[in-house]
């Protein structure tokens, strides 16, 4: 009687621990964006802002990292990655702060020290494909 009672508690505890671990796994799966598709990688390689001045800034500052898959930077046009980042930072606007101040391997101002804040916003909007 006593043994089966203890076994019951043990089994219940194992169930609780198991379901907590399962939930954690589910949450990780939900927050990690799907990797870019081949189409998205091809798009990022050629995408250029339509405004000539912004295109020039993009080419000399952001393109080297954000148009190349596998370097750790979110790809231009890979919406799922940008959206997941925005959610983690507390909104699309917060990405502007990351870009200006730098974030992990992302250098401050994206190596464009003469960029205005407005240009940084425009560049992020171009890479995300939506307005901040
Ligand atoms: C030297 C490479 C490099 C350059 C140049 C660069 N970035 Fe990044 N950027 C990165 C990397 C790497 C990340 C991902 C950082 C991480 O999550 O570890 C990133 C992430 C970002 C993010 C998301 C930050 C966050 O909070 O997750 C924004 C916004 C961004 N870059 C904007 C820009 C803009 C705008 C430019 C051009 C003006 C630019 N970057 C130029 C490497 C670069």
Same structural domain, 46 and 88 = yes
71 CA from centroid of ligand 1 (Å): 10
This prediction's pTM:
0.82
Same structural domain, 123 and 87 = yes
pLDDT digits (tens, 9 = 90+) for 5-55: 555 555 555 555 545 554 444 445 456 899 999 999 999 999 999 999 999
Three-state secondary structure along the chain? CHHHHHHHHHHHHHHHHHHHHHHHHHHHHHHCCCCCCHHHHHHHHHCCCCCHHHHHHHHHHCHHHHCCCCCCCCCCCCHHHHHHHHHHHCCCCHHHHHHHHCECCECHHHHCCCCCHHHHHHHHHHHHCCCC
Total domain count for the chain?
A: 2
Q: Is 62's C-beta closer than 6 angstroms to any atom of ligand 1? A: yes
Domain that holds residue 26: 1-32
Same structural domain, 44 and 28 = no
Same structural domain, 25 and 60 = no
Same structural domain, 124 and 80 = yes
Which of 65, 102, 107, 128 for a ligand 1 pocket mutation test, highest count of atoms within 8 Å of Cβ? 65
Same structural domain, 57 and 122 = yes
pLDDT digits (tens, 9 = 90+) for 52-61: 999 999 999 9
Q: Is 73's C-beta closer than 6 angstroms to any atom of ligand 1? A: yes
């Amino acid at each position: 009687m006593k043994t089966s009672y203890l076994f019951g508690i043990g089994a219940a505890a194992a169930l609780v621990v198991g379901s907590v671990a399962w939930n954690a796994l589910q949450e990780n799966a939900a927050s990690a964006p799907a990797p870019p598709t081949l189409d998205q990688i091809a798009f990022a390689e050629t995408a250029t802002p339509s405004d000539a001045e912004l295109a020039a800034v993009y080419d000399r500052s952001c393109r080297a990292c954000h148009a190349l898959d596998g370097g750790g930077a979110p790809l231009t046009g890979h919406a799922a990655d940008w959206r997941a980042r925005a959610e983690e930072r507390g909104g699309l606007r917060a990405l502007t702060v990351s870009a200006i101040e730098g974030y992990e391997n992302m250098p401050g101002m994206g190596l464009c020290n003469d960029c205005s804040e407005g240009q940084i916003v425009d560049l992020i909007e171009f890479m995300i494909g939506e307005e901040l």
